[in-house]
């Protein structure tokens, strides 16, 4: 187990070249947010845009369009009931699952459309749907972001057994496509193909709904923008998420997910050398 340090931020976050444009920083497609859980995709998108993704589109229930635009006019919207194949195939990074409820049809269609070279981040309800329906993972650069109960549902490793790294690693290796596993908890762990990393920061002021949706959006923004630093870009996103929460916690009892996203541009500017 390797403990991550602030160095990961200097390693991944780079000063932008003058000769660049929005497409240089990645196209992200976010798929999620039923009528009940529209907030989840708004938080995904706030995080991805504030992390610096070049272009962000959100495929969601149409009842969420106005609220999303009110929070974030930078994002584009798509009706998630339409055929998303073209939108998926034009994205560099697809994030699916936050607030997706029981829309198994959308998970299946996304897994069918995704291509092997693309980054696919699977979060929230999509993880539960994969577990319940025993879906196979698609060929892609797969990242999964379960909290401990979602990981228990997916892997069969109970929350108590998750203290043993070897159990998690074995379960990860048994999947048909070996994903990068971001196992969320106090001191989140990141399982790459052959090594485990752990963040030393973060705390209970982060225990509030939408905190994981924000992390998933940050991972999308970091991986889309810092393509050449994969998978370190994932570690930098996880580290930054908790580092910002730590800073806010000095004078905030609870660190709201939307405040973490709002702090991202200034936070990242400190590391861009």
Ligand X SMILES: NC(=O)C1=CN([C@@H]2O[C@H](COP(=O)(O)OP(=O)(O)OC[C@H]3O[C@@H](n4cnc5c(N)ncnc54)[C@H](OP(=O)(O)O)[C@@H]3O)[C@@H](O)[C@H]2O)[C@@H](O)CC1
Ligand Y SMILES: Nc1ncnc2c1ncn2[C@@H]1O[C@H](COP(=O)(O)OP(=O)(O)O)[C@@H](O)[C@H]1O
Residues in the annotated binding site for AMP: 184-188, 212
Q: Which is nearer to ligand X, 11 or 258 (CB)?
A: 258
Binding partner of 179, given ligand X, ligand Y, Mg ion, none, CB within 5-8 angstroms per partner class: none
Q: Which is nearer to ligand Y, 91 or 256 (CB)?
A: 256
Binding partner of 203, given ligand Y, Mg ion, ligand X, none, CB within 5-8 angstroms per partner class: ligand Y
Q: Could you say which of 124, 138, 179, 221 contacts ligand Y (CB under 6 A)? A: 124
Instruction: Let me know: does 252 contact 205? Beta carbons within 8 Å.
Output: yes
The 3-state DSSP class for residue 180 equals strand
Tokens coding 75: 């994002």
Q: Please state, in angstroms and rounded to a whole number, the distance separating the CA atoms of residues 34 and 24.
A: 31
Q: Are strands 189-191 and 196-198 parallel, antiparallel or unpaired?
A: antiparallel
- Output the DSSP codes for 100-131: -TT-HHHHHHHHHH--TTSEEEE-HHHHHHHH
Q: Could you say which of 62, 156, 200, 209 contacts ligand X (CB under 6 A)? A: 209
Q: Could you say which of 48, 211, 220, 244 contacts ligand Y (CB under 6 A)? A: 211
Site string for ligand X, 89-128 (x = CB under 6 A): ---------xxx-----------------------xx--x
Residue nearest ligand Y, CB atom distance: 212
Count of residues interacting with Mg ion (CB under 5 A): 2
The 3-state DSSP class for residue 57 equals strand
**Contacts to ligand X from residues 180-199, by CB under 6 A:** 185
Site string for ligand Y, 171-210 (x = CB under 6 A): -------------xxx-x-------------xxx-xx-xx
Q: Please state, in angstroms and rounded to a whole number, the distance separating the CA atoms of residues 264 and 234.
A: 15
Identify the burial level of 7 via C-beta atoms within 10 angstroms of its C-beta, where 0-12 means exposed, 13-18 middle and 19 or more buried: exposed
The nearest distance, CB 273 to ligand Y, in angstroms, is 27
136-146 exposure pattern, b = at least 16 Cβ within 10 A, e = fewer? ebbebbbbbbb
Q: Please state, in angstroms and rounded to a whole number, the distance separating the CA atoms of residues 239 and 105.
A: 33
Binding partner of 215, given ligand X, ligand Y, Mg ion, none, CB within 5-8 angstroms per partner class: ligand Y
Q: Which is nearer to ligand X, 31 or 248 (CB)?
A: 31
**Which of 30, 11, 7, 13 lies closest to 216, judged by CA?**
30
Measured in residues, the chain has a length of 273
Site string for Mg ion, 120-139 (x = CB under 5 A): ----x---------------
**Longest alpha-carbon distance in the chain:** 51
> Where on the chain is the footprint of ligand X (CB under 6 A)?
37, 39-40, 98-100, 124-125, 128, 147-150, 159, 185, 209-210, 212-213
> Where on the chain is the footprint of Mg ion (CB under 5 A)?
124, 212
> Where on the chain is the footprint of ligand Y (CB under 6 A)?
124, 147, 184-186, 188, 202-204, 206-207, 209-213, 215
């Amino acid at each position: 187990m390797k403990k991550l340090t602030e160095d990961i931020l200097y390693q991944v976050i780079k000063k932008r070249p003058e000769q660049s444009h929005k497409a240089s920083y990645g196209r992200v497609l976010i798929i999620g947010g039923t009528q009940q859980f529209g907030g989840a995709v708004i938080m995904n998108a706030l995080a991805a845009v504030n992390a610096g993704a070049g272009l962000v589109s959100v495929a969601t229930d149409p009842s969420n369009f106005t609220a999303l635009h009110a929070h974030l006019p930078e994002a584009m919207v798509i009706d998630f009931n339409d055929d998303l194949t073209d939108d998926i195939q034009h994205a560099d990074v697809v994030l699916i699952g936050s607030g997706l409820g029981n829309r198994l049809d959308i998970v299946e269609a996304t897994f069918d459309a995704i291509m092997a070279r693309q980054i696919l981040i699977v979060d929230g309800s999509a993880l539960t749907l994969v577990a319940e329906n025993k879906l196979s993972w698609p060929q892609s650069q797969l990242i999964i972001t379960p909290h401990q109960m979602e990981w228990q549902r997916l892997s069969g490793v109970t929350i108590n057994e998750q203290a043993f790294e070897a159990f998690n690693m074995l379960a990860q290796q048994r999947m048909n496509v070996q994903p990068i596993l971001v196992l969320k908890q106090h001191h989140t762990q990141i399982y790459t193909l052959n090594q485990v990393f752990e963040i030393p920061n973060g705390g209970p002021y982060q225990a509030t709904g939408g905190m994981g949706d924000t992390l998933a959006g940050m991972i999308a923004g970091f991986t889309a923008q810092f393509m050449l630093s994969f998978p370190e870009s994932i570690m930098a996103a996880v580290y930054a998420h908790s580092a910002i929460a730590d800073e806010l916690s000095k004078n905030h009892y609870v660190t709201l997910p939307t405040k973490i996203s709002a702090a991202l541009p200034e936070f990242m500017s400190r590391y861009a050398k």
